[in-house]
Amino acid sequence: MTETFQPLQETDPAEVGGYRLAARLGAGGMGRVYLSHTEGGRPVAVKVVRPELADDPDFRKRFAREVRAARRVRGAYTAEVLDADPDCAQPWLATLYVPGPSLAQAVARRGPLPVPALLWLMAGTAEALRAIHAEGIVHRDLKPSNVLLASDGPRVIDFGIALAADATAHTATGHPLGTPAYMAPEQASLQQVTAATDVFALAQTAAFAALGSPLYGDGPGVDVLYRIIHSAPELTRLPEPLRPLLARCLATDPAARPAPAEIVDWCRQRLGADGAPAVWREIGVPEAEVPPPVP
C-alpha cells in the first residue's frame, strides 16, 4: 500500500455498520478513518468515533444533530455524507472517498501553489462553503487538512462534524473551538460564530497554500490567537493578484467580509472560462491506486 493507505492493525475492526474495512486512511480529533466500499464498489471513507467520546451522552446528542445537518449538504466541492449511525456502541459516519491528498500534504510535498491554482482552490472551496451554509451549517474548522485535492478540484470535508468532538473537549474549559492558526478574531475571542467566520478561515487556508506556512505564524496557540485578534495580517508576502480579495476576507468586522458567492465570481472572472482544468493540473497531484473492496 502507499502512504495514503495503511494496513489494518489487530486492534482495528474488520467491519463497521456493514462496511468491510480495507485500509486505514488516518486519524483526527474525533476518531480513526478507514477506507471501505459501497455494495456497488464505490470507495468511501468511514470515520469511527473514539471510545472516550462515544461514552459521552452530550457528544452523542451533538454528533447526531450535526450528522443530520451534514447529510443534507449537496455540493460539487464537498465530500457528501452517505451514511451514519450515531446511536451504536461506537458511532460512525461514511462519506464519499476523495482520491487525493489534503492541501496540507500537497503543500508539504511540492511547496506553495501558483496563482491560477490558488484562484481555483478559493473558488471551489468558496462554492463548498456556499452549499454548507445553505443548510444552516458553519464549518468552524476549515483548514488545509480539511481541504482535499481531487483531480478536478478541491473538496471540503468535516463540515460541522468537528464541532461535536471539539465542544466535548473544550467547552467546559472555556477554550475556543477550532484550530488556532485558522480561526477568525470573533472565534478566537469566544464571540458569535457565523458563516463569515468560515470566510476568514478560507482566506487563511488560501494564504497557507500561497506561502507554505500559516499567515499569522507558528508557535503556541495562545500566541497565534493573540496575533489574530490584535494584529493586522502581513499581506505583502502574498501574491499581489490575490491581496485585494484576501484583505476583504480577513476584515476584523465579519460584516465587511464578502459572501462565498462573491468570492466564487471574483476568482472565476480572473481564471477565464476554460482555465480551471489546466491550472489545476499544474499542481500535479498524483492519484494513489485505491485498494479493492474486501470480499
**Which sequence positions are flagged as catalytic?**
141
Alpha carbon distance 113, 205 (integer Å): 12
Residues in the chain: 295
Exposed/middle/buried for 148, CB within 10 Å: 0-12, 13-18, 19+?
buried
CA distance 121 to 267: 9
CA proximity to 127, closest of 271, 281, 278, 287: 271
CA 171, 208, 78, 106 dihedral sign is negative
Rounded Cα gap, residues 113 and 39, in angstroms: 37
Q: Which three cell numbers stand for residue 119?
A: 484562484
Q: What's the CA gap between 75 and 165, in Å, rounded?
A: 24
Category of 104 on φ-ψ map: left (φ > 0), alpha (ψ -120 to 50) or beta: alpha
Q: Residue 92 belongs to what H/E stretch?
A: strand 92-96
